[in-house]
Structure 1
């Protein structure tokens, strides 16, 4: 393929260093796996994507076939290497974060399906443990919610199997690739079993979830040597591991306190860098490890919107639109949402409300409501939730964000991005580089090859492809957000 010359590392040429050659970066996500072959000088020289199909069921069930997850990693990685037509020095892996499964450590065979991060079946278990909620949040930085891995792990142990080990999906994938039994510190921080201050497994949290006797993976840095693999061809080391949203934060160049990004994928995830000490949120956000390098952790605040692209897919499945490409075409045909209000809480409300029991609402419909009004209302609902997260970040940091860097498939929608800038009242900068999560995995893989490489030299140079400036007055933005909050309040009061 033609090299992507938009990719440049911020630290200039690195010729002659151990990390000089290309690396294979694999991003195993909820709806697919993307693989890139990344060269620090020539950019992306090979790429491939393989879809993954989660299964949705009653009671909030969201599952995936582990065999499909592994096959997607292998197929995407091999295809990207074939596209590049040259060998790589190392492999980096990004993962879904909170998706878990039980598996046999002797054979590597899965013992359960993968329970995807969106799965809500551990809600009764969380309700049972509600007396420990404050303790868990203080210990781990995470609110007690089925979104995180530990409730799912305990749910598996109570209802599915007591055999083998139960871990996040990255540990299983790494074991299948290299035989190692590890997880990076940022992924471990998504379990609600990691002590936020010591960045070690918390005995107290394990006791709360009834997981004290579990064999857990070693918590490692994001960059290192985690074994070797021949899964993609000639033997190469696995040198980079990082959870997906933190990988995107790194690739967006948000490495200094106060810098923030939002990724619009299956959900929307806003992360703000807070530096070398954890800042426990008082505004309903998650405080977690951004990454650990050289034994030194960096932290971030994290806010989640559970349904972004999945809400677009829902509207597509209903036949209202034919896909995300219709957002701008239909939405631009009307001047506003026509009085329609959409709270796209199709998988519950996350930060800052943490009400997974709620479901979405669509109000203000009339005989004159068109598909364009529904599209406008959906974009408004997604953007309003992100704005609420940004407001919580500002409260925790003691000052508002000045810009927001964004990536992900839905950033192709000018309507959504303009709506986001209008509601935030700050510039929204769209990444010029696609697949930033995989680029973050490539960055830590290069750091694993060369521990002396400066962090800034490993990440892509930041250059936006587009900048959306607010086009509405602050009072209009405030009113639109107030209308959205009123719709959310209506849901809260109804339950």
Structure 2
């Protein structure tokens, strides 16, 4: 049995680091804030140096909290955040363009004729959310120098000198051939990125190099994109099982097994992970604003923070006829309309803060329910349950709304920080090839299970109201 590992989850608004012991569990933890800049025109940027500093600071602090050495490091990443940088010295040439950024929208519109082909080749719809449109935008508008990659490639290079990305993160670029799990020359040509120096695609459980960033030399043996790491940590390893992570956005992923699936419902077909040379695939649906919508309500003074959701929302028996479509950064799957703005309708003089909070919970839950319906349609069978993690799962109000609108049990992970736990397991696999995936993962158990309680008629009415509001935003008469 190997010793403790350091698992680092580099996220949108911060980096979380855990020291994980295979026997005692989490023996040290720390976090470091990251402050993206939300700019006009849907632009979202962050200083790359801040990303690297947060990784090093959180990792060192977690090790100090644990007070004992570790044997390896695993790193999870944001997925679709990109930057240009100089491979000679590792210095950034641009700010990092965050996954939420919409500046490549006109470029995607220009390439619209290739949308169907790109979906067939890569499994992804043509949308600025993914990395390739941002990479192309950087090349057109900022610099032709150096390399342009997802943020994980730069972080790993700064930590170890390697120039690699894992297969699942490569799958978030829209430049990966979904069938061969290699770079797609056809997709590169569409985005005018032919000839770019691209990182080597490696298995998630690969010894990619050694880092001294956290103190003594340590092997970096685990790499995985954030949502897929959470999928693994939740033991969603069999086809037809699914999880949803409620963070800055909400992300529902369903395991589909060893064969790639192209969604017919607007979901993303992508690589879940490649471990020991074997690829697993998943279907993926996104809600761009979950905790970020809660932060928006907080900044307006409606609540004082996420911890207030149940207190304030509990003061109202329901949403009071208010419908909230939290498309504050556009609508992702299954609509893919980044140009759409959010809406709050049904307001009256009797509307209270509690009604608004309840309406937001319903809005987030309704969008996740639309994703679950899309998964069921693609797989030909409904989900039996949904495993969930992330900060907003602490809200009983949101989790009950989710169970009610889904009509299935919602199982809340007892282990917070699922992404870090997942990449920690991958690092363990990269260190010890004799381990099986179940052996490397922490035991999964729910801290709470929310059963559907709402009347079926009420649920149908709430979901119909949400769809009507979405239809009004889309302007096409149908959601």
TM-score for the superposition, normalised by structure 2: 0.99
The CA distance in 1 between the partners of 2:357 and 2:122, in whole Å, is: 38
Answer with 203-212 or 312-321: which moved more.
312-321
Contact 1:301 1:393 in 2 (8 A): yes
Aligned to 1:223: 205
Aligned to 2:132: 150
SS at the partner of 2:306?
coil
- Correspondent of 1:77 among 59, 63, 74: 59
Aligned to 1:8: none
**CA-to-partner distance for each residue in 1:253-274, whole Å, 9 max, x for gaps?**
0011111000000000000000
Aligned to 1:122: 104
Q: Give the superposition deviation at 1:460.
A: 1.4
SS at the partner of 2:149?
strand
- Correspondent of 2:323 among 335, 341, 346: 341
**CA-to-partner distance for each residue in 1:454-492, whole Å, 9 max, x for gaps?**
111111111000000001122321221111000000111
- Correspondent of 2:334 among 352, 365, 370: 352
Contact 1:275 1:299 in 2 (8 A): yes
The CA distance in 2 between the partners of 1:80 and 1:69, in whole Å, is: 17
**CA-to-partner distance for each residue in 1:102-140, whole Å, 9 max, x for gaps?**
000000000000000000000000000000000000000
Contact 1:271 1:301 in 2 (8 A): yes
Aligned to 2:268: 286
SS at the partner of 1:325?
helix
Mapping of residues 3-152 of structure 1, within 5 Å:
15=1, 20-152=2-134
SS at the partner of 1:173?
helix
The CA distance in 2 between the partners of 1:164 and 1:216, in whole Å, is: 11
The CA distance in 2 between the partners of 1:243 and 1:354, in whole Å, is: 21
Aligned to 1:444: 426
Say what the alpha-carbon RMSD is for the aligned residues: 0.8
Aligned to 1:248: 230
**CA-to-partner distance for each residue in 1:367-411, whole Å, 9 max, x for gaps?**
111111100000000000000000000000101000000000000
The CA distance in 2 between the partners of 1:255 and 1:457, in whole Å, is: 13
SS at the partner of 1:379?
helix
Q: Give the superposition deviation at 1:494.
A: 7.2
Matched, 1:388 2:370: yes
The CA distance in 2 between the partners of 1:273 and 1:47, in whole Å, is: 29
- Correspondent of 2:288 among 306, 316, 323: 306
- Correspondent of 1:476 among 440, 458, 476: 458
The CA distance in 2 between the partners of 1:149 and 1:392, in whole Å, is: 24
The CA distance in 1 between the partners of 2:106 and 2:475, in whole Å, is: 21
Mapping of residues 391-430 of structure 1, within 5 Å:
391-430=373-412
The CA distance in 1 between the partners of 2:129 and 2:432, in whole Å, is: 35
The CA distance in 2 between the partners of 1:354 and 1:292, in whole Å, is: 27
The CA distance in 2 between the partners of 1:473 and 1:361, in whole Å, is: 26
Contact 1:305 1:349 in 2 (8 A): yes
SS at the partner of 2:270?
strand
Q: Give the superposition deviation at 1:294.
A: 1.3
- Correspondent of 2:253 among 263, 267, 271: 271
The CA distance in 2 between the partners of 1:222 and 1:475, in whole Å, is: 45
Aligned to 1:487: 469
**CA-to-partner distance for each residue in 1:215-264, whole Å, 9 max, x for gaps?**
00000000011000000011010000000000000000001111100000
SS at the partner of 2:367?
helix
The CA distance in 1 between the partners of 2:93 and 2:475, in whole Å, is: 41
Work out the number of aligned pairs and report it.
477
Aligned to 1:364: 346
TM-score for the superposition, normalised by structure 1: 0.96
The CA distance in 2 between the partners of 1:355 and 1:459, in whole Å, is: 37
SS at the partner of 2:344?
strand
The CA distance in 1 between the partners of 2:395 and 2:443, in whole Å, is: 23
The CA distance in 2 between the partners of 1:196 and 1:52, in whole Å, is: 32
Contact 1:272 1:393 in 2 (8 A): yes
Q: Which runs of 5+ in 2 are unaligned?
A: none
Q: Which runs of 5+ in 1 are unaligned?
A: 1-14
SS at the partner of 2:332?
coil
Contact 1:253 1:460 in 2 (8 A): no
The CA distance in 1 between the partners of 2:157 and 2:36, in whole Å, is: 22
Aligned to 1:374: 356
Aligned to 1:189: 171
Aligned to 1:10: none
Contact 1:51 1:72 in 2 (8 A): yes
SS at the partner of 2:475?
helix
Contact 1:192 1:205 in 2 (8 A): yes
- Correspondent of 1:200 among 170, 176, 182: 182
The CA distance in 2 between the partners of 1:414 and 1:255, in whole Å, is: 27
